Structures are given as C-alpha cells and as structure tokens.
A and B are shown apart, each in its own frame.
Chain A
C-alpha cells in the first residue's frame, strides 16, 4: 500500500480549460455557418489556413522555449485565436496577409509575453489591428458580396485566389460592408435612399444580420453553459445602443442602432472577443466598466474614426485599461468594511 502524499483539497470540479475552449469553438459554429453561407468559402479557407499556421507557430515557439509542446497545445487556446482571427478577416484575404496576422498574433502577442494567461492584449485582435493598419487595401476591399446578390466563386476558385491571387476577378465579387456604406454615404443620401441600397437587404444588413444573429445564439449558449458571464456582453451592447440612441438618434446623420448591432463584428466581439478572460477585467464591476468602455469606443471610432469597423481597436484600447479597472474595482472582502481599492488600505 503506497499512500500518495498529497494535501487538500482532494476533490476537483469537472471544468477544464480545454473544455472551455472547446465550447467556445462550438459556439462559433452558427455564426461561422452563416458567414460561409452568405460570403462564400473564403471564410472557411481563411480559418483553416489560420488554424494550421497557428498550431505550427505555437509548436515551434514552444519547442524553442523548451516547453512540453503537446501539453500546451492541448488547451486549444491557439485554435481559438486562429478561428476568431479567421472569422474576422475578409473572405478574400490573401494568404500572406492571414499568415502575417496569425504569426504576429501567436508568436509575438501571445508566446513572447509568456504564453497563455500572460498576454496583456487579445492576440486575435492584435493580429487584426496589425493587418488593418499595415494592409488597409486588402483589409477593406476584399469583403465579399453576399451570395444573394451575386454568384460567388466556388471553393477551388476561392482557394486559388487566396493563394495565388489569380483566377477570380476580385472587383466583381467584392463590395463594401453595410457599416462602411452607411458611414460614407450618410452625408450624401437620406435614410430612405440608403436603405434602398442592396447592401442593406430586406431587413437591416444583408447577410450580416444573420451572421450576427448566429454569433448571438452562440454567445447565449456560452452564457447558458456558464463559460462566460453576462457582464461584458450586456454592458457592451447596452452602451453601444445607448450611445447610438443618444448621440446618433437621427438616422439621417448617423448610422442607426440596428445596423450597429446587427452588422460588422459586433456580436462576435461582444460574446467571443471581448469576453476573452485572459485580457479582460476580472471583477464583476470591472467587467461592466470594461464592456461599457468597449461599446462606447466602438461607437466613437465607427462614427468619427477612420475605420468602418472598430471592434478590434476598441477591445485593444480597453485591454490597456483592464489592470487599472481590476485595481480599482476589487470586491469587498468578507469582514472588511470597505473594499481595498487603490493604494491606501481603506478599512
């Protein structure tokens, strides 16, 4: 009888990091499927390519750092980063753009900071922001035309285009996103005229509304499984709505609420990107501020900034603030009269 010398506690819950990550991946499926349906195979190819690169890059770096590779890969975190980045990129993004983004995200933004849990910035968003700033043309003009409007290239054609740049006449199959369109055209056209544009479809934003609803569904599933808490998504969406209603109430001057909420990467950002636990605030109150900050920043950048979609920048900016928020929103410990916030001990 060899007794294991171990100290308490001896019971463990069933929650594991790997299963958390797996659930996140699972929850992206509805939105993922909607993206493929409406915007073609490009999304799938991008995601697959990103996943391949991410795993390869992470394995290489781990080996260089002399860490056990499988142990760290098996927490699926690289996979999640790659998938999120792939979902955010335009469908016709050239392979080298994706590669740069993924490599930067995994190697520099995650591993160089110390691996999972040690990175201060959301890796997927760092990659995305890098691409947006470095390759603005590729990132803004390669958005696909929704499938209901035009015939999209088939799988092989898309594959060829992404990896060789040829085979498809890109101008014929791309168009601006709804957010982009509204922002730039609202000075010229009135709301009635704008909504007539094909990009907005029957309801809010052709194709994009379904994608966002898909991500919303996935997000709700995550909430139900208690993978994420409600604080960040709710506060982000609420603050975005509030800003839009209070500042941009006039649809003749500003993008209306419905487009804000149901197009672009809003839902993806609210439920999958902003809730990344490693880089978000941790206390409940902190999460509320964090989400609200993202919502406000998204609105500001979308309305007055230079980019049509702003989730990446908003998230990154709030990542800067997350430790500060944590520091100043510590909960009150049992038995203490006041929470210890800031430097002085308030008790």
Chain B
C-alpha cells in the first residue's frame, strides 16, 4: 500500500515540477505578436496585385498564418509555394488556377499618345511606380513595376499594356536539365531546352 502512495507522490512531484518549468517558460519566453506573419510576408512576392483574393500581400500573409491555403499566389508561383511549405512544414500543393495562372514576368507600359493624365492609374498602383501628375503625362517606372495588373482596369482610355519582359544576354539563365521525370529516356546528358522563355521547371 505504501508503495502506491509513494508512487502517487512521486508522480505528483514530477507533475508539479514540470508544470512549473513549463509555466515559467511560457511566461519567460513569450513572444509578442505573431512573427510568423512577418516571415510569411517576407516570402511573398509583394506585387500587391490582389489575385489571391486579399487586398495585398500582408493580408494574405495573415490569412495564411490563420490557416488559409498557401497556393493562391500566381506571381509567386512554384517557388513561393515551396518556400511557404518549407516554412510552415506542410506539403507543397500545386498553384490554385482559380486565382490566376503563373505567367512570365511582365511590366506595364503606358502608350503616351493616348494618355489623358487622369491619375487614375497612379492612384491604383500599390507601389507608386507610375510617375505623373494631374494633366501631366504618366509613365511607368519599369524598375519599380511589379507587374501586378492593377493599373490596367482604372485607365479610362485603356492605354496601358502588360508587356512581357524580354531576355537579354545579361539576364539569361540556365534551365533545368531534362523535362518530365516520367520518361527518363528523354533526359539526355547535356540537354538544353530550346525555348529560352520557358522558365517553368517541370
């Protein structure tokens, strides 16, 4: 009988000790706010385009931290999804096509002959990449443009085009050897894809 009492007391003591340690740790090492949102936001491409259904990248980051799916960002594409999957320790899932297809990099271009200087596109641009003022010519600063598409709709004279960014010899990059892993007989050593614009790795 005494053994039982001893056992119970021992377990009680252990429980109290570990509970105290855990309690102390939860107070001492408490983290304010949710740093996860910042980390997720750091992985998103910051185009602020809204294709994910949220008004910007930060709201989507908060939604992901709250449990939303990670595959809603077309500008981020596969790389962002896998990075998010790594961070959150979940399985990477393919891009949800409902939110848009992943396209090559594009920038906006304003046809200056048609621009009426209404500043609607300037108000729409989430990164202030359009230079101009009321009744003055508007132009897109290519280096700052993220290709988010938000300026195209507000333009009343429809003078904005989304132009794909071409490849020059300076920003050309190597492609992944081989294509579909299903048929490895087509992976020959030293193979090179013939379409230089096709950046998607299968």
User: Do A and B share a direct contact in the complex (Cβ within 8 angstroms)?
Assistant: yes
Point out residues on A near B: beta carbons under 8 Å: 5-10, 12, 66-68, 71
B191 A68 Cβ-Cβ under 8 A? no
A68 near B185: Cβ-Cβ < 8 Å = yes
Task: Tell whether, in the assembled complex, residue A6 and residue B183 are in contact, meaning their CB atoms are under 8 Å apart.
Answer: no
Q: Which residue from B185, B190, B192, B194 sits with its C-beta under 8 Å from A71?
A: B185
**CA of A234 to CA of B194, assembled, Å:** 49
Q: How far in angstroms is the closest Cβ of chain B from A73?
A: 13
Q: Which residue of B lies closest to A66 (CB)?
A: B182
CB <8 Å contact, A71 and B191 = no
Partner of B190, one of A8, A66, A67, A68: A8
Query: Does B189 have its Cβ within 8 Å of any Cβ on chain A?
Result: yes
A-B CB contact pairs (8 Å), 16 listed: A5-B192, A5-B194, A6-B190, A6-B192, A7-B190, A7-B192, A8-B190, A9-B190, A10-B190, A12-B189, A67-B182, A67-B184, A68-B183, A68-B184, A68-B185, A71-B184
Q: How many residues of B contact A (CB 8 A)?
A: 9
CA distance A274 to B84 in the complex (A): 39
Q: B190 — nearest CB in chain A belongs to which residue?
A: A6
- A199 vs B79: C-alpha distance when bound (angstroms): 64
Q: How far is the CB of A8 from chain B (nearest CB, A)?
A: 7
Instruction: List residues of chain A with CB within 8 A of the CB of B190.
Output: 6-10
Is the pair B191, A6 in contact by a Cβ cutoff of 8 Å?
yes
CA distance A66 to B184 in the complex (A): 11
| Secondary structure call for the B interface | loop
A66 to B182, CA, bound (A): 7
Q: When chains A and B are docked, how far (Å) is the Cα of A7 from the Cα of B189?
A: 9
A10 contacts which chain B residues (CB < 8 A)? 190
Q: Which residues of chain B are near A68, meaning CB under 8 Å? A: 183-185
CB distance from B129 to the nearest CB of A (A): 37
Q: Which residue of A lies closest to B193 (CB)?
A: A5
- Of all chain B residues, the one with the shortest Cβ separation from A9 is B190
List the B residue with the shortest CB-CB distance to A68: B185
Q: Which residues of A contact B192 (CB under 8 A)?
A: 5-7
Task: Fill in one digit per residue for B149-185: 1 if any A CB lies within 8 Å of its CB, else 0.
Answer: 0000000000000000000000000000000001111
Within 8 A of A (CB), among B63-99: none
Q: How far is it, in angstroms, between the C-alpha of A71 and the C-alpha of B185 when the chains are bound?
A: 8
A280 vs chain B, min Cβ distance (A): 24
Besides A5-B192, A7-B192, A67-B182, 8 new A-B residue pairs in contact (Cβ under 8 A), listed by A number: A6-B190, A6-B192, A7-B190, A9-B190, A12-B189, A67-B184, A68-B183, A71-B185
Chain B 9-37: CB-based contact to A (< 8 A → 1; otherwise 0) = 00000000000000000000000000000
Residue of A nearest to B189 (CB): A12
Nearest B residue to A12 via CB reads B189
Q: What is the CA–CA distance of A8 and B190 in the complex, to the nearest angstrom?
A: 6
Cα–Cα, bound, A10→B191 (Å): 11
Residue of A nearest to B191 (CB): A6
**Cβ contacts under 8 Å, A67 to chain B:** 182, 184
- A67–B189 Cα distance when bound, in Å, is 19
Q: Which residues of B contact A9 (CB under 8 A)?
A: 190
A66 to B183, CA, bound (A): 9
Interchain CA distance A67-B190 in the complex, whole Å: 22
Point out the residues of chain A lying under 8 angstroms from B191, CB to CB: 6
Which residue of the partner chain B has the closest CB to A5? B192
Residues in chain A near residue B194, CB distance under 8 A = 5
Residues of B within 8 A of A8 (CB): 190
CA distance A159 to B185 in the complex (A): 40
Q: How far is the CB of A242 from chain B (nearest CB, A)?
A: 43
Q: State A12–B185 Cα separation when bound (angstroms).
A: 17
> Smallest distance from the beta carbon of A334 to chain B beta carbons, Å?
23
Nearest Cβ in chain B — how far from A12, in angstroms?
A: 7
User: Chain A residues with Cβ under 8 A from B182's Cβ?
Assistant: 66-67
CA distance in complex: A344, B161 (Å): 48
Candidate in A7, A9, A71 with the most chain B CB atoms within 10 angstroms: A7
Interchain CA distance A67-B182 in the complex, whole Å:
6
Q: Contacts of A12 on B, CB cut-off 8 Å?
A: 189
A120 to chain B, nearest CB (A): 20
Smallest CB separation, A62 vs chain B (Å): 11
Q: Shortest beta-carbon distance, A113 to chain B, in Å?
A: 15
Complex CA distance for A71 and B184, rounded to whole angstroms: 9
Q: 10 closest A-B pairs (Cβ-Cβ)?
A: A6-B190, A7-B190, A7-B192, A5-B192, A71-B185, A68-B185, A66-B182, A6-B192, A68-B183, A71-B184
